Amino acid sequence: MRGLILLALILVLPAGCAGREEATVDLTLACQLAKCVCAGPDKLFFENEASQAVLWTDNGDAYCPEGLELRLAED
């Protein structure tokens, strides 16, 4: 019985990790459920990064103005 449970965990864990990577790639959909911001390119750690509110398409996808990219908000 323990062997069967261990085998099931071994098969399920990689699938769970793969799902997380895929979810982080498409922020246009993830931002519907999580807070996101539009931010510019990476800056040095001591520079404040200006962010803007996310814009939304008619179908509910999030997007940013040109020159900015979607990022999950750091709360």
pLDDT at 4: 67
Beta bridge partners of 37: 71
Q: What global pTM score does this model have?
A: 0.55
pLDDT at 12: 72
Torsion of CA 32, 33, 35, 38, to 10 degrees: -30
pLDDT at 16: 57
Q: Label the pairing between strands 55-56 and 62-63.
A: antiparallel
Walk along the chain (75 residues) and give the pLDDT tens digit of each residue: 777 676 676 777 666 555 444 434 588 888 989 999 998 876 655 555 667 889 999 999 999 998 888 888 886
Q: How far apart are CA 6 and CA 12, in angstroms?
A: 10
CB 56 within 8 A of CB 65: no
Domain ranges of the chain: 2-72
